[in-house]
Amino acid sequence: AAMRFTLLLVSLSAAAVAAAVQGNTFPRNGIPQLQDTRIVGGVEATPGEFPYQVSIQHEGVFGRSHMCGGSVVNTNYVVTAAHCLHDQTPDKLYVVAGEFDMKVDSGDEQVIQASELITHEEFNFTLLYNDIALIKLSSPLSMNDMVAPVVLPQQMEQVMNGTMCTVTGWGYNHEHGSMMNFLMKVDVPVVDDSKCHLMYGPSAIIDSMLCAGVDEGGKDACQGDSGGPMVCEGVLHGIVSWGYGCARPLYPGVYTEVAYYREWIDQHSIT
């Protein structure tokens, strides 16, 4: 699973890498690195099917490139994973809403520069605890058929084990794949925390994380999907955070459990 895993190794210090490997926390951001991050085992979405999905892009020497996913909270804020914003500055960060095909300009896209990056105060980059952040936009989004806010859970609202959830993104389609042009979607069931503890170890998975995936593997988020939405029964219950590899048997994807942070989101995203 990534920040999705291998991507990270390039930029982390050796000590941080050792700690990450030890904790198996491989974030799933799309910062070029050795491994991968995309939706695995999914199918193409349709334009406007997920109007809350955004692409978070870094502006470099050669223009903007997709780095992470995110979800529209309201006209002025997008929620994503904190690890996506590590070492980023608002002036080089853009949110693209209404996007579907990265290679084609449909006219529905809204490209807005970030004005402020709000990372959770207790975010731990090594263990990926509290892996949640907000991006304040420099100008408001226009809501329409292609761009709309996601429904947030109530504080501490539980999602039942076995609930089917949809994860979306432009990340890798397999562990050593490449980014997708089209927005992809995959359905995965919520996995019992105890099963997740068994695979990753009890200290790696804390209550404010949610695991999802199928035992046989083959369906998961991957590199480049980090920060993107996991929506269960119409509600944003998860944010793509990390995993071990992508879609490996017995290793579910790990998500930030949004219900733990509803009050934090409300406090920091007042329009």
Q: Which residues contact 22 (CB under 8 A, 6 or more apart)?
A: none
Task: Spot the catalytic one: 55, 71, 131, 241.
Answer: 131
C-alpha separations of 6 from 144, 175, 241 in Å: 37, 9, 14
Catalytic residue among 83, 120, 237, 268: 83
Q: Using only C-alpha atoms, what is the Rg of the chain?
A: 16
- From the list 89, 106, 87, 97, the residue with the least C-alpha distance to 27 is 87
Strands (E), 42-199: 43-44, 53-60, 63-74, 77-80, 93-97, 110-119, 133-137, 164-169, 184-191
Give the whole-angstrom CA distance, residue 151 versus residue 165: 14
Q: Which residues neighbour 236 within 8 Å (Cβ) at sequence distance 6 or greater?
A: 52, 71, 79, 150, 151, 152, 153, 229, 230, 258
Largest CA distance in the chain: 47
DSSP label of 18: H
3-class DSSP state of 137: strand
Active-site position among 226, 237, 268, 269? 226
Q: Is 91 a catalytic residue?
A: no
Locate 133 and state its tokens. Answer: 């952040």
The secondary structure of residue 194, as a DSSP letter, is H
Active-site residue flag, 115:
no
Known catalytic residue at 215: no
Active site (catalytic) residues? 83, 131, 226
